[in-house]
Amino acid sequence: MKFFVDTASLEQITEARDLGILDGVTTNPSLMAKEGIVGQENILAHYVKICELVDGDVSAEVISTDYEGIVKEGEHLAQLAPNIVVKVPMIEAGIKAISHFSRNGIRTNCTLVFSAGQAILAAKAGATYLSPFIGRVDDITWPGMQLIADIAEIYAIQGFETEILAASVRNALHIVDAAKNGADVVTCPLSAMLGLLKHPLTDIGLAKFLADHKKANG
Ligand code: E4P
């Protein structure tokens, strides 16, 4: 399973990259705004900086919601760097644009996916990645992880090549469950990634090893 970090923060991307386990980055307009990146020129320049920091895929989301606009914006984003993946919303114009990008060698991430039916449509259109939003489904008390399991089952049966990118991942348990349920990629905040490290027995065990070493060696 690949690990993407879900942020537009250059500091967090660098920290995740330096762990040596980072395969890519996802961003969205909310994450860009959170970092204070505003204005088209600044946004494009920020994507270039992210792409220079990591070798893996970097999802850059379009703002347009009409077919012509999505295509124009996506083609421009794709030219910024070879590792850009154009992030397109799960709407009718988005599916049409994903089909166009797929036919023209531009890789895509179909975002805002909340059902298995939407997942089938995105795969048929040739999306490179599919982003089901686990946390937001959990937020309305539906089982978000079941969505990953259902899509993984359908994609395996049908032989779809679109990679399942578990998104809206909020904690370390989400990461483990996404892995169990067949996600190809998980994108999450750095805090969730670092949450995987934590176990009290590790801390207790390390403290005892160090104490024993000190007692024996002074
Ligand atoms: C990533 O591609 C998504 O935009 C992101 O994971 C959404 O996460 P959120 O539901 O925590 O905002």
**63 close to 94: Cβ distance less than 8 angstroms:** no
Q: Looking at 34, 49, 87, 215, which residue is catalytic?
A: 87
Pocket of ligand 1 (CB under 6 A): 6, 26, 28, 111, 131, 133, 135-136, 167-168, 187
Q: What is the pLDDT of residue 205?
A: 98
Q: What digits encode the pLDDT tens for the residues 158-199?
A: 999 999 999 999 999 999 999 999 999 999 999 999 999 999
The confidence score (pLDDT) of residue 45 equals 98
**Range 2-216: architecture per CATH:** Alpha-Beta Barrel (3.20)
User: What's the predicted TM-score (pTM) here?
Assistant: 0.97
- The terminus-to-terminus CA distance of the chain in angstroms comes to 44
- 36's torsion region: left (phi>0), alpha (psi -120 to 50) or beta? left
**Which tens digits make up the pLDDT trace of 23-52?**
999 999 999 999 999 999 999 999 999 999
Q: What percent of the chain clears pLDDT 70, i.e. is strictly above it?
A: 100
Ranges of H-type helices in 54-188:
67-78, 92-103, 116-125, 134-139, 144-158, 172-180
3-class DSSP state for residue 155?
helix
3-state secondary structure of 41: helix
| pLDDT at position 14 | 98
Residue 129 DSSP symbol? E
Residue 211 in tokens:
């104490």
- With the most atoms of ligand 1 within 8 angstroms of its CB, the residue from 61, 112, 168 to mutate is 168
Ligand 1: residue whose CA is nearest its atom 11:
168
Measured in angstroms, how far is the CA atom of residue 170 from the centroid of ligand 1? 9
Per-residue confidence (pLDDT) for residue 13, from 0 to 100? 98
Q: How far is ligand 1, taken at its centre, from the CA of residue 36, in Å?
A: 17
How many helices, marked H, and strands, marked E, lie in the chain? 11, 8
For this structure, is 96 an active site residue? no
Q: Above pLDDT 90, what percent of the chain?
A: 100
> How many Å apart are CA 116 and CA 123, to the nearest integer?
11
Ligand 1 atom with least separation from CA of 87: 2
Which residue has the CA at smallest separation from atom 12 of ligand 1? Answer: 168
Inter-residue contact 66 to 93 (CB < 8 Å): yes
Question: CA-CA distance, 177 to 122, in Å (whole number)?
Answer: 23
